[in-house]
Homo-oligomer: A and B are copies of this chain.
């Protein structure tokens, strides 16, 4: 058999093991009884070891080497080899002991981080964080794919990205974001959020969330939505994508926007071309591009006036008491508040980028500049003041808020890159489909989805993110589109 074909099939099997592991995880979060954790943990560990041993096997190495020698490989074949190599390199360069040591420390660190956050006491988490940093530096040294250690870690989530590249982008937008936030913050007539904080029947919220994603063309024939503590999206095969949401009775946006956000991820996962199904390429091209999809649906579409022209009467009908006396414009303003706040996950789409820049700058110092962990809480607060003009009252609302550092570094920038990719792509969509927002007013979203399928979704991981954005929009990632989008949207909302 042709080495290329063999490589595809070898990774088909590995992908199926990944999907099975994903089911073990999905079930644990959605259905599994509380007392069943121990058995499940053993099963997940077993699947991981089966996957790991297959990836690092001599067979993988040989198939990649043989496939590379072939002539006339298609673009997809070449992408497949590239991704197989990524997996193989990581599995062979990192000793198994280091993998287990990181897993063990992360798992312990997670427990201690929860305690530390609960008590707002950084000293509890400190020794684990120090160990994770040491291990992740060792990991980056061994992997050694980027020009610097932090770049190596960033590349895991944003293939092709480097520290310098992201730094340039973030440095360009930082002062602009600070200025916009200041400007919005100085307006006295701020949107009223009390409308969102009434008692909203959970059953009705759930039904509306299903109605919305149905309209957004979420495919219930190959997907489903459930409830879970943390909203997430997972694929259990190339034709089985599941999302979760959560419902807060006293806060309408939680379920609503979690659902739309995850639906955005899911539409991506549902849109890969069949040729790459059940392969390493059936995945988002980078975490940033993946976030661009969830955020485009959540913010660009789901928080637009046109979207609510269609949905607000339906919501008014579902919650007549709560929404009585509020116009669609009131509601639209209430879900588009910009306000400096301490917690990243609760931040609006404008201040969000500043939360990420703070973490990006700290991570660089942690990984490359020997920053002492002791200094982190103070530095965190200093940067909060510099970027958002507020100082967290305690570490719980400061340095201890995120779970990410219990396992590693380099993920945060993708969140913000998602916003930037979204703005640049959306701008391009509007160029060719200027009447798109009028679709939303009619509850019609398939033109947007078709564009995204055609230009983004179908390709999965075939292109790298920097190539994909250039292919779609004709230029490199440019944060100015996001700045422009923010100004055009929020200045009118704030009457500026």
Closest CB-CB distance, A43 to chain B, in whole Å?
5
Residue A16 at the chain B interface, CB threshold 8 Å: yes
A16–B43 CA distance with the chains assembled, in angstroms: 6
Q: Which of A221-229, A350-358, A439-447, A466-474 is found at the contact surface with chain B? A: A221-229
Residue A36 at the chain B interface, CB threshold 8 Å: yes
Residue A17 at the chain B interface, CB threshold 8 Å: yes
Contact residues in B for A38 (Cβ distance below 8 Å): 237, 239
Residue A20 at the chain B interface, CB threshold 8 Å: yes
Residue A220 at the chain B interface, CB threshold 8 Å: yes
Closest CB-CB distance, A359 to chain B, in whole Å?
36
Asked whether, in the complex, the Cβ of B239 is within 8 Å of the Cβ of A39, the reply is yes
Asked whether, in the complex, the Cβ of A221 is within 8 Å of the Cβ of B278, the reply is no
A32–B222 CA distance with the chains assembled, in angstroms: 8
Instruction: Determine the residue in chain B with the shortest Cβ distance to A12.
Output: B42
A50–B46 CA distance with the chains assembled, in angstroms: 12
Q: Chain A: how many interface residues by the 8 Å CB criterion?
A: 34
Task: List residues 299-326 of chain A with CB under 8 A from any CB of chain B.
Answer: none
A19–B219 CA distance with the chains assembled, in angstroms: 29
A278–B32 CA distance with the chains assembled, in angstroms: 17
Residue A138 at the chain B interface, CB threshold 8 Å: no
Tell me which of B13, B43, B237, B240 contacts A20 (CB under 8 A): B43
Asked whether, in the complex, the Cβ of A224 is within 8 Å of the Cβ of B31, the reply is yes
Contact residues in B for A236 (Cβ distance below 8 Å): 27, 36, 39-40
Asked whether, in the complex, the Cβ of B239 is within 8 Å of the Cβ of A36, the reply is yes
Task: List residues 38-94 of chain A with CB under 8 A from any CB of chain B.
Answer: 38-40, 42-43, 46-47, 50
Contact residues in B for A33 (Cβ distance below 8 Å): 220-224, 240
Residue A34 at the chain B interface, CB threshold 8 Å: yes
**A-B residue pairs in contact (CB < 8 Å), sample of 9:** A16-B43, A20-B20, A20-B24, A35-B221, A36-B222, A36-B239, A39-B238, A39-B239, A39-B278
> Which 9 A-B pairs give the minimum distances between C-beta atoms?
A39-B237, A36-B240, A35-B221, A35-B222, A16-B46, A39-B239, A36-B239, A16-B43, A33-B222
